[in-house]
Structure 1
Amino acid sequence: MSAPKPPTIVLTGGSRGIGLSCLKLLLRPPISANVVSLSRSFPPELQELKKEYPQRLLVIQGDVSKDEDNKLAVESAVKSFGSVDGLVMNSGTIKFERIDDAKSTLQSWKEVFDVNFFSLVSILKHSLVHLRNSQGKVVFVSSGAAVGGIASWGSYNATKAAMNSLCRTLASEEPTITSIALRPGVVDTEMQAQLRSEAKQVMNSPNYKHFHKLYENSKLVAPEQPAEVITNLLVRADTKHTPVFFYHLFLFILI
């Protein structure tokens, strides 16, 4: 009896943080997936993974805000591995700008939406025919910002709310595809470092102090924790979990 075919996952933002942690877990046993990673950079740690898994990891340096790069990632997955069984929508960017700031232009907001939201629509448009065939899974890496309103996070807040809405719409339109939006918590990633270095003057003081205190007290969530949940969902979740928006620790109960 032949071994089951490993799943093929397209993952965005796999060069660092949650995405890189997901990539490691997907490639290693027990999942041992085929993975197409789409990210702007190709840092040494990702290069080492490519050397370790040359047959199962395809790295595409590209920009999720460009439709042609998203199309290439999906087409490469199908050409190289024969299917698309799951998506991890992890790429994201943030700009700390109050609505009335001079630098908070419409173009600035559009740039955040291009990465955080319109890229999702782009990848889905290219993937849905394959996800229907595989009855696949889509995990959107969302944020508590989707239901909050932290000052100076306006474009980020709005894109994560739009992400959750897209997840619900996808679940309604594609009942055979599992669609989940995951709130990972306050994770020790580049975004938190950026917040500490750039956002003190534009965030409301209590909010800024809250995040800085989490860092000082070593209370930030390690990227490996939400990554473990995301990768489990890609293997074990089904449409009964669709659509959900949960903090990642609660999802341990579900899976």
Structure 2
Amino acid sequence: MVKVILVTGVSRGIGRKVVDNIFSSKEDAVVYGIARSEAPLESIKKQYGDKFFYVAGDVTDKTIVAKLVEDALARHGKIDSIVANAGVLSPVQNIKEIDVEAWKKLYDVNFFSILTLISLTIHHLIKTKGNVILVSSNASTQWYSGWGAYGSSKAALNHLALTVSQEGDGVKAIAVEPGVVDTPMQIEIREKIGPAGMSSEALKMFRDLKSTGALLDSNIPASVYAKLALNGIPSDLNGLYVGYDDKRL
């Protein structure tokens, strides 16, 4: 039976590679994707045809997210997995210069949009004994200069996975950090975030990761997220925060 999978942030980076990995598998699946930019979504649609459906818009807009869910239910009658990938890094700033409103905007994308998606899908996921896959970060458990907003929002996701696993009536959830991946977010770090947001040592570290070829190809963690969405979360990992390279995956 066809697997119905919802993925956020599908236009580029890890999200796009999740879609590619789902369709390169031998599983029968369809993907419903959401992203702000319509042109990349149209490109994916052209590539995969009636296996891919999308809604263009901001993940913080509940009406947009609701439309994505409603479209999936109208066409396929169920939802098997969600992959919550959309996220932003800014504001990057020292705690002494904190902009509370900017933190709230980040939380709207990185946490509350995902909470909204779960609230709209949880009863349908209960019916399918489905899966919630959350894209976390190692910044959720360790300090990076100026990353207080981003790291704390990802830590909240880790706990959200635990909550869903305990209260979701059979729905499994997991938070998986993808490693340090060569995505547009890394370009933002290297080229747009200056020493006012991060220490010079931290900026040098990220620039060195790029120059030495140490950044991961986004396809590597994306293949893990796709496998979890297709095959389900192992019971012994339900509710946990793990790395993409955890041997249990």
TM-score w.r.t. length of structure 1: 0.92
3-state SS of paired residue (1:172): helix
2:234 is the alignment partner of 1:238: yes
Instruction: Name the counterpart of 2:215.
Output: 220
1:153-192 equivalence runs, <5 A: 153-192=147-186
Instruction: Name the counterpart of 2:244.
Output: 248
Paired with 2:235 and 2:71, the residues of 1 have a C-alpha distance of 26
Shift of 1:82: 1.3
Which of 91, 98, 108 is 2:94 aligned to? 98
Paired with 2:211 and 2:169, the residues of 1 have a C-alpha distance of 44
| Aligned residues: CA RMSD | 1.4
Q: Which moved more, 1:150-159 or 1:107-116?
A: 150-159
List gaps (5 residues or longer) in structure 2: none
Paired with 1:136 and 1:12, the residues of 2 have a C-alpha distance of 17
3-state SS of paired residue (1:182): strand
Paired with 1:195 and 1:135, the residues of 2 have a C-alpha distance of 38
3-state SS of paired residue (1:212): helix
List gaps (5 residues or longer) in structure 1: none
Paired with 2:46 and 2:211, the residues of 1 have a C-alpha distance of 36
Shift of 1:189: 0.4
3-state SS of paired residue (2:133): strand
Instruction: Name the counterpart of 2:66.
Output: 71
Shift of 1:215: 0.4
1:1-255 equivalence runs, <5 A: 5-44=1-40, 46-95=41-90, 96-101=92-97, 104-201=98-195, 202-236=197-231, 237-250=233-246, 253-255=247-249
- Which residue identity is paired with 1:155? A
* Deviation string, structure 1 residues 125-169 (Cα, Å, up to 9, x no partner): 100111000000111000011012222112111100111111111
Shift of 1:248: 0.7
Q: How many residues align?
A: 246
% identical aligned pairs: 31
